Amino acid sequence: MAEAWIRAIAVAVDEHRDQLIQLDAAIGDADHGTNLCRGFTAVLEALGDKHPRTVGEVLVTTGTTLMSSVGGASGPLYGTAFRAAGKLLTEPAVTPKQLAAALYAATAAVTQLGAATLGDKTMLDALAPACTAFEDAVLHHGDLPSAAAAAAKAAEEGAVSTIPLQARKGRASYLGVRSMGHQDPGATSTALIFEALAGVTR
């Protein structure tokens, strides 16, 4: 499932490349879509070369490759997130509860690296609520499809919630109040990642 998830992310990023570029053009460098497409293309090549055996190996390979192939803040942030999650998942099979813990590890790693909090208009505004929704669904339903669907919904809502916010981190923060009224590209791509997870677990 892990490789299927990463491949689904690569497809989603490619399909939404122009949208991510446009969102980033409004408050950033206009390269978010291009960078992520390049990064996940490199990830697919790396996975094909290494043939990882566990979920953790897939995610660590993904993170390491993103860190080395994606410029700007996206590479380090997404790379750190995938690596942090992967390091907790050492078994061939992963339970929903274990994946919930790994997602929280990813959130903590991103928070530490980016020094951001909820409401700063960053990817964290989609990532944090998605993790909470995933865990809540696991506790109430116990199955991965329900948890992934709940996380995808929360991530999308989190991304939309960034529209009225003023950016306090990253390049967008230089715009001050002019960053308001635009959806954060990092939160948007984070929502795509959870949407891809929901898709492969249905």
User: Concatenated DSSP letters for 40-75?
Assistant: HHHHHHHHHHH---SHHHHHHHHHHHHHHH--TTHH
pLDDT tens, 88-144? 998 878 999 999 999 999 999 999 998 999 999 999 999 999 999 999 999 998 899
CATH 1.10.10.10 fits 2-201, yes or no: no
pLDDT of residue 170: 83
Percent of the chain with pLDDT over 70: 100
For the chain, the residue count is: 202
- Judged against a pLDDT cut of 90, whether residue 65 lies above it is answered with yes
72-78-79 Cα angle (round to 5): 95
User: Could you tell me if 121 and 168 are in contact, meaning their C-beta atoms sit under 8 angstroms apart?
Assistant: yes
Question: How far apart, in Å, are the Cα atoms of 127 and each of 19, 49, 171?
Answer: 19, 29, 19
Distance CA 111, CA 114 (A): 5
Name the phi and psi angles at 180, rounded to 5: -70, 145
Domain ranges of the chain: 2-201
Band (pLDDT 50/70/90 cuts) for residue 183 is: very high
User: Could you tell me if 80 and 105 are in contact, meaning their C-beta atoms sit under 8 angstroms apart?
Assistant: no
What's the pTM value of the predicted model, to 2 decimals? 0.95
- Judged against a pLDDT cut of 80, whether residue 169 lies above it is answered with yes
Band (pLDDT 50/70/90 cuts) for residue 196 is: very high
